[in-house]
Chains A and B, each alone.
Chain A
Amino acid sequence: MSKLLSANFARLKTSKTFWLGMAVMALFAVSSCLNANSSRSFSGIDSIFFSAYIITGILIAIFCGLFIGTEYSDGAIRNKLVVGHGRSSVYLSNFITCAVVGLFMDLIFHLVILALGIPLVGTFQNGWLTALAMLLTGFLMTLSFAAVFSLLVMLNQNKALASIISIVVAFAAIFGFVFLYSRLQEPEFYAPYVLTVNGVFQQSEPIPNPYYLNEVQRALAQFAIDFFPTGQAGQFVDTGTPNLGLMSLYSVLLIIATNAAGVFFFRRKDLK
């Protein structure tokens, strides 16, 4: 597999998609720092440091579609199989390449935030150890993004279709997270009305919120946003200190499950 990785990384050096993605992450980091500095409501870089994972997910979706899709559209994947490389090696080398690209994008974002954000808005308010734990959870989340999109693209030989599916899935996951998260934030009851009639206060009964999720629904919604990488990324932005241990466990499970399924189906796939 080292030969395949060497070939992939050599291609990566000249990949416009990769360098464009890196530039987007760097610019987003600069813009986050300047925005935090100008609003003066930030007292530390905690919230902006972990704000880019949703963007990483979208960029990985685009990168996987174009980088792996080119192997199919140009037929170069055949050159690997014809000379005796195993299908598992081909699949996993492509996943590893996408995963490394995701980590590079995370790193460039974090490095720019550290370099520019600390002088402008200060250091981590929750402490460096918490930041480190969140960073490692974020990296695992990035790997799970790469695993999901590698699976989608490796099992689809049409480059354009694979790219579109990946991007649609990435955005659908974001909308799914926003929907579930907002439903979880719904209050159980609306506040009672308070009326003043001739100087006398009258209060109505609290009104039950029809959008409030019951216990089972809440558990399922919470599981969905904890399990899927987009949900995890959203929680990093919104809640600050999510359940890192559980999220890491879910990411590891997702990485193993998607790669096992991907290798299983790719080994049986008829290629053209």
Chain B
Amino acid sequence: MEYVLSTQALSKQYRDFKALDNISMHVEKGAIYGFVGKNGAGKTTLIRIICGLQNPTSGEYSLYGKRNTEKEIALSRRRMGAIVETPSIYLDMTAEENLKEQYRVLGKPSWNGINELLELVGLSSTGKKKAKNFSLGMRQRLGIAVALAGDPDFLVLDEPVNGLDPQGIVEIRELILKLNREHQVTVLISSHILDELSRLATHYGFIDGGRIMKEISARELDAACRKCMRLEVSDVKTLARVLDERKMEYAIVSDHEADVFGQWNVTEITLALAKENCEVRKMTERDESLEGYYINLIGGKSHE
């Protein structure tokens, strides 16, 4: 497995507060990695560290195989673009001037690609309008354009849809999907808007209290969140035999519980279990969303 980013036991301490506690996470090449956690969970701290804005207290991370303690990490960073919290743009410059400034920072020899970038983020018609007169969505898109100026293979977006109107959210989502699918850009996107994230992410990392609670692929999450009926029975082995006879898909949850997937006839199964002297005690429909999965994972603690 090729990882763009991996962290090993990464910790960050601010005086008495431990913002990150032994974090180990892995972002696969080509993934859209949804970094999920409530406010103050440590998402932005981790992003600041991997962007080189802060130093870890202990532990390390690798970008494209180069550890943060190696000098060559600077070369890996050249393959990165990022928006941390707010878009990093000069407010007294136009969209084009901002991109030219970033081109100079990157040492690009010509302005080739600036028009295409402005086109890509939908800002080609802003002309001489200064960024300070842009809407929040336009600034966010300009921030993404600046982050893309170096043709990055890895894009880090910290809460990119915060404060955007519905139209702005859709535009950013489509842009991220386009970059990932058409330009093969790996994306790490942090958010606490789970519904939005579930439309994008191919992988998830759940963080709470500075700790990674779980890393899971979207496919695994879909399986975990599939619609099913949870049966509580007196003998789960009998239930398994009955379901096997009918070639039905199921997952044993405990000695008395199992999740049964797909469409099936409740009466038929109940009668078959009754014949085997297996009592059906409880039957509940389960349809877990990303939100439900997350709440279950962090133990249902209230949000800030």
Q: Do A and B bind each other?
A: yes
Cβ contact within 8 Å between B53 and A83: no
Indicate with 1 or 0, residue by residue over A243-271, a CB within 8 angstroms of chain B CB atoms.
00000000000000000000000001011
Q: In the complex, which residues 1-22 of chain A have their Cβ closer than 8 Å to any Cβ of chain B?
A: 2-4, 6-7, 10-11, 14
Cβ contact within 8 Å between B52 and A81: yes
B51 contacts chain A at the CB level, 8 A cutoff = yes
Cβ contact within 8 Å between A74 and B51: no
A183 contacts chain B at the CB level, 8 A cutoff = no
Cβ contact within 8 Å between B86 and A7: no
Complex Cα–Cα for A82 and B150 (A): 11
Cβ contact within 8 Å between B48 and A7: no
Complex Cα–Cα for A4 and B90 (A): 15
What total of A-B pairs shows CB separation below 8 Å?
A: 89
B8 contacts chain A at the CB level, 8 A cutoff = no
B271 contacts chain A at the CB level, 8 A cutoff = no
B77 contacts chain A at the CB level, 8 A cutoff = yes
Say yes or no: A7-B105 contact (C-beta < 8 A), given A82-B77, A83-B77, A271-B48: yes
Cβ contact within 8 Å between B86 and A75: yes
B214 contacts chain A at the CB level, 8 A cutoff = no
Chain A: minimal CB distance from B156 (Å): 8
B107 contacts chain A at the CB level, 8 A cutoff = yes
Say yes or no: A75-B87 contact (C-beta < 8 A), given A11-B101, A270-B53: yes
Q: How large is the interface on B (under 10, 10 to 19, 20 to 34, 35 or more residues)?
A: 35 or more
Chain A interface helix/strand/loop/mixed: helix
Q: Which residue of A lies closest to B81 (CB)?
A: A82
Cβ contact within 8 Å between A270 and B105: no
Chain A: minimal CB distance from B143 (Å): 9
Complex Cα–Cα for A268 and B88 (A): 21
B100 contacts chain A at the CB level, 8 A cutoff = yes
Cβ contact within 8 Å between A7 and B75: no
Cβ contact within 8 Å between A83 and B91: no
B39 contacts chain A at the CB level, 8 A cutoff = no
Complex Cα–Cα for A4 and B103 (A): 10
Residue of A11, A80, A83 with most partner-chain B CB within 10 A: A83
Which of B78, B87, B89 touches A84 (beta carbons < 8 Å)?
B78
Q: In the complex, which residues 100-114 of chain B have their Cβ closer than 8 Å to any Cβ of chain A?
A: 100-102, 104-107
Which of A7, A86, A268 touches B101 (beta carbons < 8 Å)?
A7
Say yes or no: A271-B54 contact (C-beta < 8 A), given A3-B105, A79-B105, A84-B75: yes
Cβ contact within 8 Å between B100 and A10: yes
A70 contacts chain B at the CB level, 8 A cutoff = yes
A40 contacts chain B at the CB level, 8 A cutoff = no
Indicate with 1 or 0, residue by residue over B261-285, a CB within 8 angstroms of chain A CB atoms.
0000000000000000000000000
Question: Please, which residues of chain B bring their CB within 8 A of the CB of A86?
Answer: 74
Complex Cα–Cα for A76 and B88 (A): 5
Residue of B77, B90, B102 with most partner-chain A CB within 10 A: B90
Cβ contact within 8 Å between B51 and A78: yes
Cβ contact within 8 Å between B150 and A83: yes
Cβ contact within 8 Å between A78 and B101: no
Say yes or no: A83-B89 contact (C-beta < 8 A), given A7-B104, A10-B104: no
Q: In the complex, which residues 138-176 of chain A have their Cβ closer than 8 Å to any Cβ of chain B?
A: none
23 sampled A-B residue pairs with Cβ under 8 A: A6-B107, A7-B101, A11-B90, A11-B101, A14-B97, A70-B90, A74-B88, A75-B86, A75-B89, A76-B90, A79-B146, A82-B51, A82-B77, A82-B84, A82-B156, A83-B78, A84-B74, A84-B77, A270-B54, A271-B48, A271-B53, A272-B48, A272-B53
Residue positions of B touching A, CB distance < 8 A: 14, 48, 51-55, 73-78, 80-82, 84-93, 97, 100-102, 104-107, 146-147, 150, 156
The 10 A-B pairs at the shortest CB distance, nearest first, are namely A84-B77, A75-B88, A7-B104, A84-B74, A3-B107, A271-B53, A270-B54, A82-B82, A78-B88, A84-B78
